[in-house]
Structure 1
Amino acid sequence: MSNPHSSFPLMFSQVDVTAASQPRSVLSQGEEQVELLREVLAAQDRTNELLEELVSTMATRERQRNQELHQWKKANPDLADDCRTAAELLSKVQVEYLDRLTEEINDTQDDLVDGEFMLNEFIDRYGPRLAHLNGVIQVLAQLGTNPTASTTESQA
């Protein structure tokens, strides 16, 4: 039988993977370790520089955010007070909600552990409401913080 692939041109060629024409100088074990440590140190220095830039950028954004929040509170002092009051009231609602949630967990513990359906029902029933309530409280609390307290925190 003839070879069916003989009529096709070769798709692969050989690649020379031998060492470069200039051989690398042979280092003693101690010199090699020193060189590796220098490389590690240089990489660590670069990592430190990048981290410093990142912290600086984040601090600048946080200062700007605090300044904008402070300006908003000065422009809307009554609304800031109302936000603080609303956050306190919703926190009480949240405590009651968590109390009911934990009661249900304790009452249906075995069903939640053993039944996928019951666990999904529980999560669907309580999860989104709890997440949204936490988000609303967080926003109201942040908008309702005392302007002098947020100023001193951002300056610290």
Structure 2
Amino acid sequence: MSENRRSRESFFSQIDVSHGGAASGPPVAGNTNFELVGVLREILAAQDRQNELLEELIGQLNAAQRQRANELGQWKQANPHLARDCRIAAEALSKVQTEYLANLTEEINENFESLRDGEFMLNEFVDRFGPRVAHLNGLLQVLSQLSATGDPANTSNTP
């Protein structure tokens, strides 16, 4: 527990911005510049640490993405017929989604005024169309990922 607290404390630094003492006159220019340089160095060190943490995070995310891509590639090799069927189903469902979106946009265009002015009508519209759009998108995404062709090792987002 105390080790966890120490690691969290290393993420944060403290900078004293309070007045140094009683009003004894203007600060000496050399002291102010020295303090400013010190604060800027602390900020730079914190940014360097933040960059290191971001690089580690990117590495972890890339490793997880590569692992998922490899597992997906293995699944496709083990189930080539199902992957092909998923591609056909994704194409068919895409056509269904296109038609559904056409109906949705027609509904919006016909009822624009009432949707804009009436909260009840807008909520009714979202309740009627929202879940189906979300579910269609989710299904299409799954089918597309299962049917995608290509080398799974090259699917990571490396520059």
Output the TM-score relative to the length of structure 1: 0.78
Please report how far the alpha carbon of residue 70 of structure 1 lies from its aligned counterpart in structure 2 after TM superposition.
Answer: 0.5
Please report how far the alpha carbon of residue 30 of structure 1 lies from its aligned counterpart in structure 2 after TM superposition.
Answer: 1.9
SS, match of residue 154 in structure 1: coil
Matched, 1:81 2:81: no
Distance 1:100 1:29 in 2: 67
SS, match of residue 35 in structure 2: helix
Distance 2:123 2:36 in 1: 57
Please report how far the alpha carbon of residue 149 of structure 1 lies from its aligned counterpart in structure 2 after TM superposition.
Answer: 4.3
Greater Rg by CA? 1
Q: Cα gap change, 1:87/1:78 in structure 2, threshold over 3 Å: closer, same or farther? A: same
RMSD after superposition: 1.8
Distance 2:57 2:153 in 1: 23
* Other-structure match for 1:102: 105
Distance 2:32 2:40 in 1: 12
Residue correspondences, number: 131
In structure 1, the gaps of 5 or more residues are 1-18, 20-25
Instruction: Detail structure 1 runs of 4+ shifted over 6 Å in the superposition.
Output: none
In structure 2, the gaps of 5 or more residues are 1-19, 21-27
Q: Cα gap change, 1:155/1:47 in structure 2, threshold over 3 Å: closer, same or farther? A: closer
Output the TM-score relative to the length of structure 2: 0.77
Distance 2:119 2:51 in 1: 47
